[in-house]
Amino acid sequence: MLKELINKFYLDQRKDREQHHFYITDAGKCSRAIFFKFKKAPREEMEARVLRLFDHGDSIHRLIMKPLLSMREIHVVASEVDIPPQELIRGRADAIISDGKELYVLDIKSMNSMVFKNLNQPKEEHINQIQLYLHYLDPQKGILLYVNKDSQELKEFEMFYDPKRAHTLLKALSDLKTKIDSNVIPPRILEWPGNWQCQYCQFKEICSAAGEGNVSWENFKKKIEAQGEVKPSSTTSN
């Protein structure tokens, strides 16, 4: 009984909102998957179990912030810091902290033991995110703090702001916005379907049906609706 009720609680909270801007977590990710997200294209439903994992990630953030907020050596200048409002992208850094000499953007990531054990350097997608936080917020340095969800071990990596990388990421998002506005589905990522993003992608099925290159969204949408190959999870939009 409880299992079903708890699952229902999470599934009822699923949000399939219209997306009008990018999030910092989109930086460097598959353009096609982001395009499909903007268009509310048919996607695999997320399981309640996965939604609970996101919730667990939030509780790990709180667990890490607790000691930081009470120690003398580190001052938490601000937590949950939104980047300044602008049209292209939104994002919220976990915290800005100070060691008394310098300011740092802090981004906390949790992962399972298997991934944590093999983590000798920060993940590319996380570097992309922190570089954009550094681009929009004051500090010139960032810390990626990784938490092993199973053992609570920690690993941390410091990095400097890299303006070149930040501008490359923003240019890619701006180019993708042009495709979204002109209804052109971007090509698949080069390593399709072996890339880790494809393994976890909710749009695998329609991505496979669309083919590899640039594709007209209008034509493709008509095709999948006519064939009824993939049932939309909600109405598709322009």
Q: Which residues bind ligand SF4 (CB under 6 A)?
A: 30, 32-33, 188-189, 192, 195, 197-198, 201, 203-204, 207
Tracing tokens 């976890």 back to the chain, one arrives at 200
Q: Which is nearer to ligand SF4, 162 or 205 (CB)?
A: 205
Q: Which is nearer to ligand SF4, 4 or 124 (CB)?
A: 124
Q: Which is nearer to ligand SF4, 197 or 216 (CB)?
A: 197
CB of 192 to ligand SF4, least distance (A): 4
Alpha-carbon distances, residue 109 vs 71, 101, 106 (angstroms): 21, 25, 10
Nearest CA-CA partner of 128 in 85, 62, 173, 194: 173
Q: Which is nearer to ligand SF4, 163 or 193 (CB)?
A: 193
Q: Which is nearer to ligand SF4, 84 or 213 (CB)?
A: 213
CB of 211 to ligand SF4, least distance (A): 11
Q: Which amino acid is at 62?
A: R
